[in-house]
Amino acid sequence: MKAAAEKSSVRDGLALVSSMHSNTAVILTEDEPGLLEALGDRLGELASSGESYQARFESAAHVHFRALLLHHQVVMPITENRVELGARQAVFFVELDGLRPRRIVVKIIGE
């Protein structure tokens, strides 16, 4: 995403990162391993795999609930061809339902 902004001709605008899957997430947070581990633990508590969900047609309903608690996309400002993030911030793709091919879209918008 940073490389896409730097390669673009956009000096001032926005960078959008979006996942094309309902069982994944894209988040912007501190690049802190303890925080990311705690996030995983908390998601497990809030939407556990052992619960009985109304959506029984979907065996991975808990995964979709976890995705709803997070975000499917993030938007960041671009100034002078650079994405503006806090000193420790980073964009993370969160896989919630096992490893398989995924599609992420990055759009750079602006002047």
**Hey, what amino acid is at 45?**
E
Please report, for the chain, the start and end positions of each structural domain, with discontinuous segments joined by +. Answer: 2-110
- 27-86 pLDDT per residue, tens: 999 999 999 999 999 999 998 876 666 655 566 788 888 999 999 999 999 999 999 999
81 is written with which tokens? 């061809």
22 contacts: CB under 8 Å, gap ≥ 6? 64, 67, 72
pTM: 0.84
CATH class label, 2-110: mainly beta
